[in-house]
Chains A and B, each alone.
Chain A
Amino acid sequence: MIENPVLRKELIYRLRPRRGNDTIVGVLIVALLLVGLIYWLFLRWILTDPSSSASGDAWKILTSLQFMIICLSAPAIAANAISLEKEQQTWEMLVFTCLTPSEIIFGKLIARLTGLLGLLSILAPISVIAWVRNQLSSGNIPFTQVVYSFILLTVTAVFFATFGLFVSWLFRRTIYAVMAAYTFVIGFLCIGTAMITSGISMLTSDNNMFESFPLIWMNPFYLIAKALYSGISDYEFHAFHFFTGIMMYVAMTIFMLFFMIFKFRRFSYTR
């Protein structure tokens, strides 16, 4: 069914439940309780709140929650994909096989994204319920907004996971790869871009500078705010900003993938 051996190994062998592992069973029970609690709280809110905006607010919060999960987990999930193999001394034997660099890279990436998708899909049903309920009541969440949010979630997940994989490929130690991934995603994209743009805006005393400076268009929170809260009071969508930000993510993802595949030998092998 799955032809790529790397993908197959990661998906089937690594994700299968281990023999009598009490810790994993414990974690699963806690996770199930947590998910059950979220479902109960949101369902109660969506179905019982008489306010017409309740379901729309619930959908926005759920989407924001999914976005937070992506920002916090995607870099870490992928940052150990290759560095862990280097630490376990299995990497050299893997790259010595007849597998092409793209098979190894995409096998690792898709496996990690599948894990992330599994995490996000937990909240997907309630998110759909919230949106359908919204359409039946006020209908203030247009379908385009759902599409934009979906595009943003997908592109961000792929970009952050690719970045995690990229640093995992560059570094020999997982700890450094994870640190580099979070420094970039949280330190630079989330905080750095906002601080730099604010600083420039203050220095130039130009209030419009904040939104018109392209660096902020790369900020994940700016993008999710554009996708979810546009149309509220004076908060405009700025399609150009939004899609430029998305395109920057796509461009960087493609660049990293090409770089890894075409420079595979140089960085993968023992130097």
Chain B
Amino acid sequence: MPPMIQITHLRKEYKDLVAVQDLTLELEKGDIFGFIGPNGAGKTTTIKMLATLLMPTAGSATVDGIDVVKYPEKVRSVVGYMPDFFGVYDDIKVWEYLDFFAAAYRIQKAKRPQIIDDVLALTDLTIKKDAYVESLSRGMKQRLCLAKTLVHDPKVMLLDEPASGLDPRARIEIRELLKELQSMGKTIIVSSHILPEMEEFCNKIGIIERGEMIVAGDVNTIARQVRGQHTIEIGVVDELERAEAILLGMSDIIREVKRTSGLRKLTDAAELGIAQTLQKNGHSSSGGIVQIGYVGEPDEEYRVLQALVQANIKIRMFHTPSADLEDVFLRVTKGHVN
């Protein structure tokens, strides 16, 4: 089966400016690809080339096996595109707006009402079906644009900064919607500056700077590549010092060991409560959480856990936190723009 999106040595030039150069990428069905980069890095240019709205200077790109340069009309039938800046027709109602785009995507008239109801339900705009578009808030217009993007049930969605300029609540709504689309098996390319949100639903990321894709691939793999290690958090009920000593002794696979400080989140507070209870019952009070920088093979992480268990350390948590994209982004990019 061909990749859902395949980009090969893509290049875009504007006179003296090289907006995108030698960009190569492959995405499978169901991938959610976070496209990260500073302003002017080439994210929008790349998305527009995939959306058949810009002609590449060189290289090739296919969507669902269809060449974006040779068959732009066919590509549009399988792609949903939401630009970073967009307007809406103010003088029509919400359902009319969606009906217009459904007709423009050649959806039969008889099927349109059901499709409109479905996308309105998905984007939580059913209540606004008969409202004029101009009366919607910015967040609602953003969701309406997403609804419009979905009317022809595209396999691939290209979302350029879908949450830009929105308040936190509207951003959360968009994020939840993207998760819903992810569960529907859509292949999504989403560019955003709000990196912590991307961590939650992107399984792959690409970092682009000055038109060049610096890194691309699985989020955790990239984090590991960039940092040269990946983080594992270990919570121990007591004997934290002894646990640290054991971990420090595994220098072949552990680069650094550090304690986390403060209550990082609510669950830690709950865990602290557990530790206090254990203390009352005669256990040591020196429990806590320790972070290690693991540099060994991914499938040998068990060795760390095994070593601790064999030393009778009481472990209450052993997990890999999601990669910190901001950290990765700052490490990889240099802040250069075209």
B51 in contact with A90 (CB, 8 Å): no
In the complex, what residues of B have CB within 8 A of residue A18's CB?
91
Residue A5 is within 8 A (CB to CB) of chain B in the complex: yes
Residue B88 is within 8 A (CB to CB) of chain A in the complex: yes
Residue B227 is within 8 A (CB to CB) of chain A in the complex: no
User: Which of under 10, 10 to 19, 20 to 34, or 35 or more describes the interface residues of B?
Assistant: 20 to 34
Candidate in B14, B88, B104, B152 with the most chain A CB atoms within 10 angstroms: B104
User: Which 9 pairs of residues, A with B, have the shortest CB-CB distance?
Assistant: A97-B104, A89-B87, A5-B103, A88-B87, A13-B92, A90-B87, A269-B53, A5-B104, A99-B104
Residue B148 is within 8 A (CB to CB) of chain A in the complex: yes
In the complex, what residues of B have CB within 8 A of residue A100's CB?
73
Alpha-carbon separation in the docked complex, A88 to B141 (Å): 14
Interface string of A5-25 (1 = CB under 8 A from B): 110110001100010000000
B51 in contact with A96 (CB, 8 Å): yes
Name the contact of A13 in the complex, choosing from B54, B55, B73, B89 (C-beta under 8 A). Answer: B89
- B interface residue numbers (CB < 8 A to A): 14, 48, 51-55, 72-73, 76-77, 81, 83, 85-89, 91-92, 96, 100-101, 103-106, 145, 148, 152
For B103, give the chain A residue with the smallest CB separation.
A5
11 residue pairs of the A-B complex, CB under 8 angstroms, read A5-B100, A5-B103, A8-B103, A88-B89, A89-B87, A90-B89, A93-B83, A98-B77, A269-B53, A269-B55, A270-B48
Interface string of A55-94 (1 = CB under 8 A from B): 0000000000000000000000000000000001110111
Please give the distance in Å from A85's CB to the nearest CB on chain B.
8
For B86, give the chain A residue with the smallest CB separation.
A89
B86 in contact with A269 (CB, 8 Å): no
Asked, given contacts A97-B105, A270-B48, whether A9 binds B89 with beta carbons under 8 Å apart, the answer is yes
Residue A263 is within 8 A (CB to CB) of chain B in the complex: no
Alpha-carbon separation in the docked complex, A97 to B92 (Å): 18
Please give the distance in Å from B104's CB to the nearest CB on chain A.
4
User: Which of under 10, 10 to 19, 20 to 34, or 35 or more describes the interface residues of A?
Assistant: 20 to 34
Name the contact of A92 in the complex, choosing from B72, B86, B104, B106 (C-beta under 8 A). Answer: B86
B53 in contact with A96 (CB, 8 Å): yes
In the complex, what residues of B have CB within 8 A of residue A13's CB?
89, 91-92, 96, 100
Residue A265 is within 8 A (CB to CB) of chain B in the complex: yes
Q: A5-B100, A9-B89 are in contact. List 16 more A-B contacts (CB 8 A).
A: A5-B104, A8-B100, A9-B100, A13-B92, A88-B87, A92-B53, A92-B83, A92-B86, A93-B101, A94-B104, A96-B81, A97-B104, A97-B105, A98-B73, A98-B152, A270-B48
In the complex, what residues of A have CB within 8 A of residue B96's CB?
13
Please give the distance in Å from B102's CB to the nearest CB on chain A.
9
Asked, given contacts A92-B83, A93-B86, A269-B53, whether A98 binds B106 with beta carbons under 8 Å apart, the answer is yes
A98 in contact with B105 (CB, 8 Å): yes
Alpha-carbon separation in the docked complex, A119 to B184 (Å): 51
Alpha-carbon separation in the docked complex, A89 to B85 (Å): 7
Alpha-carbon separation in the docked complex, A131 to B103 (Å): 44
Asked, given contacts A13-B91, A269-B53, whether A98 binds B86 with beta carbons under 8 Å apart, the answer is no
In the complex, what residues of B have CB within 8 A of residue A265's CB?
55, 72
Please give the distance in Å from B116's CB to the nearest CB on chain A.
14
For A15, give the chain B residue with the smallest CB separation.
B91
Candidate in A14, A88, A95, A96 with the most chain B CB atoms within 10 angstroms: A96
In the complex, what residues of A have CB within 8 A of residue B101's CB?
93, 97
Alpha-carbon separation in the docked complex, A96 to B86 (Å): 13
Alpha-carbon separation in the docked complex, A270 to B86 (Å): 13
Please give the distance in Å from B115's CB to the nearest CB on chain A.
14
For A92, give the chain B residue with the smallest CB separation.
B83
A97 in contact with B85 (CB, 8 Å): no
Please give the distance in Å from A108's CB to the nearest CB on chain B.
13
In the complex, what residues of A have CB within 8 A of residue B52's CB?
96
Alpha-carbon separation in the docked complex, A13 to B99 (Å): 12
B100 in contact with A270 (CB, 8 Å): no
Alpha-carbon separation in the docked complex, A270 to B83 (Å): 12
